[in-house]
């Protein structure tokens, strides 16, 4: 699948087939994620691959509307390491969070290109999830990413365009909205 097609096909997926995801495919997707850009090339991302029923069940109970995580063959927990070199960007946000966000977008596109579905989940019980994975101070959960082969939509299901048009989001020289 070429990049443009992956851009167009990426959609949050919350309904997965039982079919397992081969380990090489998981590695391919995470190789895409780790190729992202980051401030000073710090690469503050880390990824925990969750496949055991026990951990998926525990995690699903800590995520808002997360019951479907139990049926997702894999769940990747994307972490950010704040460290000492994370810088304030634009005076309002920390670079390690932006870096991990860039890697998650790569993850989504790489998964799509492999025929997999995923979704970026961000509503979870932060303290309990950190405890579940034994995260040390300064390591944050940025995204919880189920990964698997999507259950196909029934034939004839309309595909929503789902995105604003270019003319709605682009301007020249000045903020005109």
Ligand X SMILES: Cc1cc2nc3c(=O)[nH]c(=O)nc-3n(C[C@H](O)[C@H](O)[C@H](O)COP(=O)(O)O)c2cc1C
Q: Which residues bind ligand X (CB under 6 A)?
A: 11-12, 119-123, 162
Nearer to ligand X, 39 or 102 (CB): 102
Smallest distance from ligand X to CB 134, Å? 23
Smallest distance from ligand X to CB 120, Å? 4
Smallest distance from ligand X to CB 22, Å? 24
Nearer to ligand X, 135 or 142 (CB): 142
Nearer to ligand X, 40 or 123 (CB): 123
- Please report the DSSP string for the chain in residue order: --HHHHHHH--B---B-S-PPPHHHHHHHHHHHHTS--GGG---EEEEEE--HHHHHHHHTTBTT-GGGGGSSEEEEEEEE-TTT--EETTTEEHHHHHHHHHHHHHHHHHHHTT-EE--B--B-HHHHHHHHTPPTTEEEEEEEEEEPBPPPPTT------S--HHHH--SSS---
Nearer to ligand X, 85 or 163 (CB): 163
Smallest distance from ligand X to CB 7, Å? 11
């Amino acid at each position: 699948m070429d990049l443009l097609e992956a851009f167009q096909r990426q959609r949050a997926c919350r309904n997965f087939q039982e079919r397992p995801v081969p380990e090489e495919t998981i590695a391919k997707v995470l190789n895409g994620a780790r190729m992202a850009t980051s401030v000073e090339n710090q690469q503050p991302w880390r990824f925990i691959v969750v496949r055991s029923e026990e951990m998926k069940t525990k995690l699903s109970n800590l995520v808002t509307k997360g019951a479907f995580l139990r049926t997702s063959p894999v769940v990747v927990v994307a972490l950010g390491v704040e460290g000492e070199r994370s810088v304030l960007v634009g005076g309002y946000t920390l670079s390690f969070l932006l870096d991990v966000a860039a890697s998650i977008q790569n993850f989504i596109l790489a998964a799509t290109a492999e025929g997999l579905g995923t979704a970026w989940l961000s509503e979870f019980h932060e303290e309990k999830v950190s405890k579940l994975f034994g995260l040390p101070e300064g390591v944050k959960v940025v995204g919880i990413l189920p990964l698997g082969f999507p259950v196909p939509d029934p034939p004839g299901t309309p595909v929503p365009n789902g995105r604003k048009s270019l003319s709605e989001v682009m301007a020249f020289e000045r903020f005109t909205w």
